[in-house]
Structure 1
């Protein structure tokens, strides 16, 4: 039977929790703002970690600037991780802007509009003609 969580998953969860705490406390870059860390994927050899982020209340261009600022500060954040993690090596961080939340909201909005349109058509069919 396979293990429920492998080591890279556990380290990814620890990195996610730690970055969620340390980014608002230590980074003073105004381009970053409020960051949500959606997921952290650590490579099997624990050398690299892809950190998927979204920015609260930001458009795509501002979010891309924030992602660039996080990538620039990745070495600084990695040094904080080295103090926190008990592993021998600390993965290199790569921040990636995650559009899935925004795309999910857009799809949900499209579905809501389609359902409302169908409901309106159904109501028009059910209304009797007054001739």
Structure 2
């Protein structure tokens, strides 16, 4: 299957899954969820949904449990909304890239603060 078609289906699935999670899931455990990307196999039989979860550690665990329990509902809705020969088998993957970028940002701010503090001390010594 052409790579362009797979990419279009991935983007469409990302949008539809985001809408389903935002508007149609009624599970109170599901909090702040961001669908960051969707990766499909070349034959569109399987799809990994990368999600980023925000909140405390307990909220993230509860949200993850709620999401995994709603996989069947999400798959059925995707089957209704996207006309494909086969509805892909869905699985969730936790996307840690946002956490990692926040960690890097904290480190950069810390380095900048240390440089400013060292710069002030060296100015006072002269």
Q: Tell me if both proteins adopt one fold, taking TM over 0.5 as the criterion.
A: yes
Measured against aligned partners, the alpha-carbon deviations of 1:86-131 in whole angstroms (never above 9, x if no partner) come to: 21111111112212111211111111111110111012112246xx
Segments of 5+ residues of structure 2 without an aligned counterpart are none
Q: Flag the structure with higher helix content.
A: 2
Partner of 1:55: 53
Q: Given that residues 63 and 97 in structure 1 are in contact (C-alpha distance below 8 angstroms), is that contact kept between their aligned partners in structure 2? A: no
Question: What is the aligned partner in structure 2 of residue 17 from structure 1?
Answer: 15
Question: For residues 1-131 of structure 1, what are the structure 2 equivalents within 5 Å?
Answer: 6-56=4-54, 58-128=55-125
Q: Residues 96 and 61 from structure 1, CA distance in 2 versus in 1: closer, same or farther, beyond 3 angstroms?
A: farther
Secondary structure class of the residue paired with 1:127: helix
Q: Deviations over 1:8-61 (max 9, x none)?
A: 2111100110011111222111111121111111111211111111224x1234
Mean CA deviation greater in 59-68 or 89-98:
59-68
- CA distance in structure 2 between the partners assigned to 1:85 and 1:61 by the alignment: 34
What TM-score, normalized to structure 1?
0.85
The two structures have a TM-score, normalised by structure 2, of: 0.88
When the two chains are superposed, the root-mean-square deviation of aligned CA atoms in Å is: 1.7
Separation in structure 1 between the aligned mates of residue 93 and residue 43 of structure 2, nearest angstrom: 20
- In structure 1, the gaps of 5 or more residues are none
Runs (4+) of structure 1 exceeding 2 A deviation are 59-62
